[in-house]
Structure 1
C-alpha cells in the first residue's frame, strides 16, 4: 500500500470509528429510553428537546448507516481496488476530498435533525445540503476508482471489483431517484402513496445495492487472502452478482403490503423478495466452499471470526426478509418491533461485523505494525456477539408479542397494554444488550487508537546507541 493510499484508508477508518462511537452511544441511550421512558424527566428541561426519542432515532440511523458503515466501507473499497488492479490508487487527493465531503454531509445532517430539520422519510431524512455533499463524494470516488480500473495492470477483473465498482455507480442514482432530486432538489416532490413507494425503493436499495454489494465484495477478497484459496467457482460468483442486481431493485414495495398500493406491485415485491434466496445462497455457498478446511482460522484470527459471523447474520436476515415479505406474515408483524430487530440484525450484525472484520484485516497496513492487544480483540468479539444477539432477541420477542396482542380482537386490550406494557421486560433486555454492544465498540476504538499511537512512536524512536564516526 502506497503512502498516499495509506493516508486515504486511515482517514476513512478513523472517521468511521468516530461515527461508530457516536452512533452506538445514541443507540444505547435510545434503548434505555425504551426500557425506562421516565428517565427523560430527570434531565434539565432545556436539554430535553435535543435528546428526545423522535430526533435521536433519526440521528442514530443516519450516523450508523450513512456515517459508520458507509465511510468504513469506502475505506475498504479504496484499500481493495489497488490490490486487485496491481495499480496505485489514482488521484488519492480526490479520495481524501470525498471522505471529508461525506463527513461534512453527516455533520450538517445530524445538526439539522437535532434542530428538527428533516425530510421525515425513513433512511431519507437528511436534508438537501447533505444530499449535495454525498453526491459530490460519489462523483469524486467514481473518478478515483474508475481511473484506477482503467489503468490497471491486472487484466482479469476479480469478482470483488464487480461488486465494489457497481456500488459507487448505483448508490448516487438510488439517492437521486428515491428522493426525487431530479424533480425538486430542496423539498420532497412526492406525496401519498407515491411517497411511500419511492421511499422504500430508496430504503431497500441502500441495503441491497450499497451495503450488500460492498459487504460481499469485501468478503470475497478477504476470504481468499486469509485462506490462500482461490474462489471456489467464478461462474457462481457472477450468477450471485447479476441475480442480486436483477432481484433487489424490486423488493422495496414489500413494506407497503398493508397500504393502498396496486395489487400487482404487492405481488411483484413479494415474488422478487422470495427470489432473493438465489443471490444470497449463491454468494454464501461460494464463500463457504472457498473457505474449505480453513475454519480453524475462526479461533486464530479475529477478522475471520467477525467476517464469518457477519456473513452468517447476513444469511439469517436474508432468509428472514424473504419470509416476512409474504403478505400473511407482513400483516401480522410489519408494524411491530420485529422489523427493527430485522434491521438491527442486518446493519448492526451482518454489515457491521463485516466492516469490523475488514478494518481488523487492513489496519495493520495503515499502522505499519500489529494491533495493540489480541485480548481486547477477543473481548470486542464476545461483547459484540452477545450484545447484538440480545438486541435482536429482545426486539424479536417483543414484536411477536405485539403481533399476537393486535390479532387478539376479543381481549379488549387498550393499545398501551398491547403495545407498551406487554413488551417492557424485553425492552430491559434491549437496554442491557445495547449498553453491552456499545461497550464492545469502545474497546474496539481504544485498541485502534493504542495501535496507531504505539506504531507511530516505534517508527520515530531513535536507536538507544548511536556511534559517531569522525
Structure 2
C-alpha cells in the first residue's frame, strides 16, 4: 500500500473516531431509553392481550382497563421506542455519511430528555383517562407541540451536516433519511393541527387520523429502516449494492405512492366512495417499493451467506428486510377489495402495524444498534449468547404475534360476516388467538430483558476495550481484529 493510501486511511479512521466520540452520549441515550420504553410497551401489550381472553385480570384497577392499556401500549411502542431508535440512527448515520462531527450533542441530549418527559406524561395521561381517542394520536393534545419542537431540535443538526458535507456522491441511505426527516414534521404537524387545532367535523378528523396512522408507518419508519439497511448490508459484507438504479427506483416509487394511503380504513363511511379505494390501491402499490428494496437488499447480502449467519448486525438486518417483503405482501392481501371488507374491524390491522413496527423497523434498529454501539463506546459486546437469545426469542415472539393477528383477523372477520350466527360467535373466534398473543408477548418481554441489560452494560462501558468490533463467533474462528472490524474500513464507494 502506498504512503498516500496509508495517510488517507489513517485520516479516515481518525475522522470516524472523532464523529463517533462526538455522538456517544446522545446516541446511547436514545438507544437505551428507547429500549426501556420497548420493555414498557411490551409489558402493557401483555396486560392488554391478557384482558382480551381474561377480562377479570387486574379488573379492580380502573387505570388498567383494556381501552386505556392498549392505546398506552401503542403510544409507548411508537413514540417511546420507535421514534427514539429512529433518532439515534438518523443522527449517527447522517454524521457518518456527511463526514461531520456533531457540535450540538448537548442540545440534542436536552431535547431527548424533554421528549422522554413528554411521552411519559402522555402515557400517564392515557392511563389516567385523558386520552384523545384518536388512533396513534391518543396522548393528550398538549403533548404534540413540545414533541414537534423536540423533533426539530434533534434532527435539524443532521440536516445542517448534510448541507455542509464535502462535495461528492449522495448515498441512497441519505435520500431515505432526508425524506423521513422532512416528512415527519409535515405529517405530524398537519394531522395534529387539523384534528386538535380546528373544531371541525368528527368524520374529517377520522379521515385525518387514518391518513396519519398510515403515513407515520410508511413515510417515517419504513424509509428510515430501508435507509439504514442500505448502509449496513453493504458496509458489513464489503459488497456494493446489487443494483443502484433499483435502489433509486424504490425510493421514488415509495415517495410517490405512500402519501395516498390510509383512507381505506374508512371503507363504508359517509365519504366520497373513491377515497377508500384510492387509499387501498395506494397501500397495495406499496408492495412495489417494498419488493424492489427488499429484493435488492437480499441480493446484496446473498453473496455473503456465512457472514449473515455469524454477524449480529446482518442477522437482524436481513431478517428485517425479509419482514419488509412480507409487509409488502400483507399490504396487497389485506387491501384487496374482497378481503378488506372482512378484516376491516378485526385484529388483522394490529398485526400489520406490528409487522411494520417490530418485524421490519425494530429488527433493522437492533441490527444498527449491534453495529453502532461498539463503535461509539470502543467496547465489544459482552456475550454472543445474549445476542443469540435476543434474536431467536424476538423472531419467535414477533412472528407468532403477526401470524396470529393476521390469520386470526381473517377468522374473526369471517365470523362477523356470518349474520346468521350471534355476535358472540365472532368474538369467540378471537379467544384462542388472544391467548397465544399473550404468550408471544411474554417471549418478547424476555427477549427485550436480555437486550436492555446488554445495552445498559455497554453504555456503562463494561465491555472489553477494542478499536475493532468483532463478529461474536468462537475464538478459534475469529480473525485478529474481527471480520466486522476489518469491514468497517471499507471506503464509502464500496459501502454503497
TM-score by length of 1: 0.91
On the 8 A contact 1:391/1:434 being kept in 2, the answer is yes
Which residue number in structure 1 is paired with residue 145 of structure 2? 132
Call closer, same or farther: CA 1:288–1:154 in 2, change over 3 Å.
Answer: farther
Using the TM superposition, give the Cα deviation of residue 233 of structure 1 relative to its aligned residue in structure 2, in angstroms. 2.5
After superposition, where does 1:317-396 map in structure 2 within 5 Å?
317-396=327-406
Call closer, same or farther: CA 1:184–1:21 in 2, change over 3 Å.
Answer: closer
Using the TM superposition, give the Cα deviation of residue 453 of structure 1 relative to its aligned residue in structure 2, in angstroms. 3.6
Using the TM superposition, give the Cα deviation of residue 35 of structure 1 relative to its aligned residue in structure 2, in angstroms. 2.7
On the 8 A contact 1:232/1:290 being kept in 2, the answer is yes
Q: Matched residues in 2 for 1:2 and 1:400: separation?
A: 47
On the 8 A contact 2:380/2:465 being kept in 1, the answer is no
On the 8 A contact 1:90/1:148 being kept in 2, the answer is no
Cα deviations across residues 253-302 of structure 1 (Å, max 9, x unaligned)? 11112322212212322322222222112211221232241122232012
Which residue number in structure 2 is paired with residue 414 of structure 1? 422
Q: Matched residues in 2 for 1:321 and 1:360: separation?
A: 29
Which residue number in structure 1 is paired with residue 56 of structure 2? 38
Which residue number in structure 1 is paired with residue 268 of structure 2? 258
Call closer, same or farther: CA 1:282–1:31 in 2, change over 3 Å.
Answer: same
On the 8 A contact 1:372/1:448 being kept in 2, the answer is no
- Structure 1 residue 109 corresponds to structure 2 residue 122: yes
On the 8 A contact 2:327/2:355 being kept in 1, the answer is yes
Using the TM superposition, give the Cα deviation of residue 60 of structure 1 relative to its aligned residue in structure 2, in angstroms. 0.5
On the 8 A contact 2:53/2:435 being kept in 1, the answer is yes
On the 8 A contact 2:404/2:437 being kept in 1, the answer is yes
Call closer, same or farther: CA 1:243–1:80 in 2, change over 3 Å.
Answer: same
Using the TM superposition, give the Cα deviation of residue 365 of structure 1 relative to its aligned residue in structure 2, in angstroms. 1.7
Using the TM superposition, give the Cα deviation of residue 101 of structure 1 relative to its aligned residue in structure 2, in angstroms. 2.6
Which residue number in structure 2 is paired with residue 18 of structure 1? 36
Q: Matched residues in 1 for 2:377 and 2:154: separation?
A: 24
After superposition, where does 1:40-439 map in structure 2 within 5 Å?
40-41=58-59, 45=60, 48-153=61-166, 155-180=168-193, 185=197, 189-410=199-420, 413-419=421-427, 421-439=428-446
On the 8 A contact 2:234/2:241 being kept in 1, the answer is yes
For structure 2, which runs of at least 5 residues remain unmatched after alignment? 1-18, 467-496
Q: What SS does the corresponding residue of 1:84 show, helix, strand or coil? A: helix
Using the TM superposition, give the Cα deviation of residue 154 of structure 1 relative to its aligned residue in structure 2, in angstroms. 5.1
TM-score by length of 2: 0.86
- Structure 1 residue 8 corresponds to structure 2 residue 26: yes
Using the TM superposition, give the Cα deviation of residue 21 of structure 1 relative to its aligned residue in structure 2, in angstroms. 1.1
Call closer, same or farther: CA 1:354–1:160 in 2, change over 3 Å.
Answer: same
1:27 to 39, 42, 45: 45
Which residue number in structure 2 is paired with residue 462 of structure 1? none
Which residue number in structure 2 is paired with residue 442 of structure 1? 449
Q: What SS does the corresponding residue of 2:430 show, helix, strand or coil? A: helix
Aligned positions, number: 448
Q: Matched residues in 1 for 2:390 and 2:367: separation?
A: 11
Which residue number in structure 1 is paired with residue 458 of structure 2? 451
Using the TM superposition, give the Cα deviation of residue 91 of structure 1 relative to its aligned residue in structure 2, in angstroms. 2.3
On the 8 A contact 1:27/1:60 being kept in 2, the answer is yes
Q: Matched residues in 2 for 1:416 and 1:429: separation?
A: 20
Call closer, same or farther: CA 1:310–1:456 in 2, change over 3 Å.
Answer: closer
Using the TM superposition, give the Cα deviation of residue 242 of structure 1 relative to its aligned residue in structure 2, in angstroms. 1.4
Using the TM superposition, give the Cα deviation of residue 457 of structure 1 relative to its aligned residue in structure 2, in angstroms. 9.0
Using the TM superposition, give the Cα deviation of residue 415 of structure 1 relative to its aligned residue in structure 2, in angstroms. 1.4
On the 8 A contact 1:76/1:218 being kept in 2, the answer is yes
- Aligned-pair RMSD on alpha carbons? 1.9
Using the TM superposition, give the Cα deviation of residue 376 of structure 1 relative to its aligned residue in structure 2, in angstroms. 0.8
Call closer, same or farther: CA 1:73–1:184 in 2, change over 3 Å.
Answer: closer
